Structure 1
Amino acid sequence: MSNVPANLKYTESHEWVRAEADGTVTVGITDHAQEALGDLVFVELPEVGKSYAAGQELAVVESVKAAADVYAPIAGEVTEVNQSAADAPESVNQDAYGAWLFKLKPANAADVDALLDAAAYAKISE
C-alpha cells in the first residue's frame, strides 16, 4: 500500500495538501500517483500570481508512460512553485511528500477542511 501521511489532506485526483502556518497550502502529488505514473520525466508548474478555481487543471506531470494533469485542490492564488521539482522530476518519485509542486493562498481557508483525510484517501487509493 502507498504511503499516506496522516497530517495531510487529499483529493480524489491524488493531490496532497499541507496547511502552512502562514495560511498558504503546499500541494504535491501523492505517493500513489507517482507510483501509478512511474518514472517522471517532466513537471510543468503553474504560473505564480495566477488564481485558479477548485478542480481546475494547473500543472502537468509526465512519465515515460503517461501524462497526468494536476488540479487545484481548492480555489486560490499560486504564491510559489518548486522549481527544483521541475528541474529534477525524479525527486517526486523519490519523495512524493517532500517534492511539493506549488503553494496556494486559499480563497477560503475553510475549503481545506473539506478535503479528504488520510483514512478516506487510503480507501480510494487502495
Structure 2
Amino acid sequence: MPPPRIDADAMNQMFGNRGYGATQRARSLRDQEADVFRRVNYTLKAAIHADAIERARALADNRRLWLAIEGAMANAANALPEATRVSILSLGRLIQREMNAPEPDFAFLIEMNDQMIAGLSGDPG
C-alpha cells in the first residue's frame, strides 16, 4: 500500500519542530513524513510503562497524526489513487477506534505506525 501524502511542514509545526525546518527541507517529503511517525512512535513506546497522563499525551499525538492523514486522504487534490486513499482512511478509522478503547493496544498502534514508516521508507516490509 503506497504511503499517504501529509503536509510535513504542518506536522512539524504541530509537533514543535520549527527549528529544524531548514535542515528538513533538504530531505525528501517522504523522509519527513516517516520522521513524524517515528516521533509519535517514540512517545507511544515511552508511554507503555508510564503513568496515565503520559499515555494520554502519546495517544493525543497519535490521534493528531492520524486525523491529519485522514484529512489528507479525504482531499480530492491528493495525488494517490482513490483505492489507496480509501484503504488508508479505513486504516485510520481502525486506529481511531483502537485509541478510543478503554485500554488501547499500544503494541498494535506502534506496529501500524511502523508499517507506515516502512512504506514511506520504501521498505516493502
Question: Between Structure 1 and Structure 2, whose CA radius of gyration is higher?
Answer: 2
TM-score, length-scaled by structure 2: 0.30
More strand by share: 1
More helix by share: 2
The higher relative CO (CA closer than 8 Å, separation ≥ 6) is in 2
